Amino acid sequence: MQALIVGANRVDTIRAEIYRVADRLGIRDVDHWPGRKVGEGKRVLPRRTRLVVFVCDRSNHMLMRHVRRQAEDLGVPMVFCRHSATELRERLEGLN
């Protein structure tokens, strides 16, 4: 299973926070969509996605709506945060 980070260019700290709780959430891999190109707004979430982390201050609203709709259809939890490892840690602690 995988987690998906949407938005931002440098995601090393965000990726590290996800890996910190990966065992608990059943995540083995972390993928990243920068969200800078127009075509990324049409990408389809992989079926093996189990968590979506959306970096709000690095992405646009249309991309957010597209990804959120897909996550809801798949029943995948979605975490919204700014580009901050501390904020993401707090959000991830709230997940089962």
pLDDT computed for residue 96 by the predictor: 64
Mean pLDDT, the chain cut into blocks of 10 residues (96 residues total): 92 94 93 86 92 86 92 95 88 83
pLDDT computed for residue 32 by the predictor: 95
Cα distances (Å, whole numbers) of residue 69 to 21, 44, 59, 74: 25, 11, 16, 9
The total of other beta-carbon atoms located within 10 Å of residue 67's CB is: 25
Roughly how many angstroms between the first and final C-alpha of the chain, as a whole number?
16
Rg of the chain taking only CA atoms, in angstroms: 12
Cα distances (Å, whole numbers) of residue 11 to 24, 35, 47, 73, 88: 21, 12, 22, 26, 12
In 23-90, the DSSP E strands lie at 29-33, 49-55, 78-81
What is the pTM assigned to this prediction? 0.91
